[in-house]
Structure 1
Amino acid sequence: MFAFIFYSVLIGIGGTALLDLWAHLLKITLGLPTAPWHLVGRWFAGMRNGQYVHRNGIANSPEVANELKIGWIMHYAIGVLFAAALLFIWGVQWAHTPTFFPALLVGLVTVGAGWFILQPGMGVGVACSNAPNPTVARLQNVVGHVVFAIGMYWTALLVG
């Protein structure tokens, strides 16, 4: 059990960190905005009061204390949970002899969490359907999760 938790944490943090580096690279090279982690924190914080959906958009909901911190913590916690899912399905031995396909599959499947849970809950619609440019947002989601998969794979190569 210790190995499962240990590798889930390391691989999840590694994948998430590479995703964040990718987002920063896109910001400095293409001027693309980074994820609004304060709004993600606001969404998660609202759940404790039973508010799971912000139909008028999360930006129109009242600010919450420590929302940026909550957003960042949840961002990394979810990365760890996705890595745990990978290790649950393929076993802890995957961390010792990783192959790319399982990481890629988990990365692509987890796009659905954003499209069907997070984005509708934040008022952006299913798969960013209410975003100013849904196609660009969807492409960024898919590419970002592939980068997350690469990060999990590389981290497993380093720590396994």
Structure 2
Amino acid sequence: MNLLEILTVGVVATAASDIWQQAQKPLTGIPAANWPVTGRWVIGWRDGRIYDPMIGKRPSLKGEAPVGWAFHYLIGAVYAALYLSFVVVIAKTVPTLLNGLLFGLVTLLAPFLFMKPALGGGFFGLRAPNPEKGLFLSISAHAVFGMGLYLGELFYQGLF
């Protein structure tokens, strides 16, 4: 495992999730994640606003879109590093579609227990408007991210 492998796996998995979010939108009417608002949240950390339930009502900030997208892909790379470390180093096995999918679903803990509550949506996003849509999008996007971890590894190995 090396930095190029981690970045490749993380970018492929995150891009797969982003493509899924755009592909499902015409069928379900559920909009993709709003990464500029995430960027606004991240920028707000410097002012001590980690818990910011009013984030959606705050004015846009200069640079929030690139910050949000960069944060999104950085988290994807961190998850890829954790996934590869667990699978290869700790479990001493290889990435598979199943362990990628399972890991992707485990990554739901972060948005469900930290990010959604921090942005005012409550645990699992149940206080957000249309929580069932948010749950569908989160679960499906993280499942696709998990499958993307495996596809990213295949791509890195030159098998895809």
TM over 0.5: yes
- Name the SS of the counterpart of 2:47 in structure 1: coil
- The question of 1:133 aligning with 2:140 is answered no
Q: Please name the residue that 2:57 is paired with.
A: 60
CA distance in 1, matches of 2:82, 2:141: 18
Report the AA paired with residue 26 of structure 1. Q
Distance 1:48 1:134 in 2: 29
Q: CA deviation at 1:158?
A: 1.9
Superposition pairs of residues 98-113 of structure 1, within 5 angstroms: 98-113=95-110
Amino acid at match of 1:107: G
- Counterpart contact for 1:4–1:84, Cα < 8 Å: no
8 Å Cα contact 1:4-1:87 kept in structure 2: no
Match of 1:36 among 24, 34, 41: 34
1:83-123 residue CA offsets vs partner (Å, 9 max, x unmatched): 0001111227x9x9531232122201110111111111111
Match of 1:17 among 7, 15, 18: 15
CA gap 1:106/1:97 in 2 versus in 1, 3 angstroms: closer
Contact 2:36 2:67 (C-alpha < 8 Å) held by counterparts: yes
Equivalent AA in structure 1 for residue 15 of structure 2: A
Residue pair 2:84, 2:95 contacting (<8 A) in 1 also: no
- Aligned mates of 1:132, 1:63 — CA distance in 2: 21
Alpha-carbon distance between aligned partners in 2 of 1:27 and 1:139, rounded to the nearest angstrom: 12
Contact 2:88 2:94 in 1 (8 A): no
Aligned length: 156
How far did 1:73 drift?
A: 0.5
Q: Is 1:72 aligned to residue 69 of structure 2? A: yes
Question: What's the TM-score, normalizing by structure 1?
Answer: 0.89
- Structure 1: give runs of 5+ residues left out of the alignment: none
Q: Distance in 2 between matches of 1:30 and 1:138?
A: 13
SS in 2 for 1:64: coil
Q: Matched residues, percent identical?
A: 33
- The residue type equivalent to 1:113 in the other structure is A
Secondary structure of 2:32's counterpart equals coil
Structure 2-normalised TM-score?
Answer: 0.89
Unaligned 5+ segments in structure 2 are none
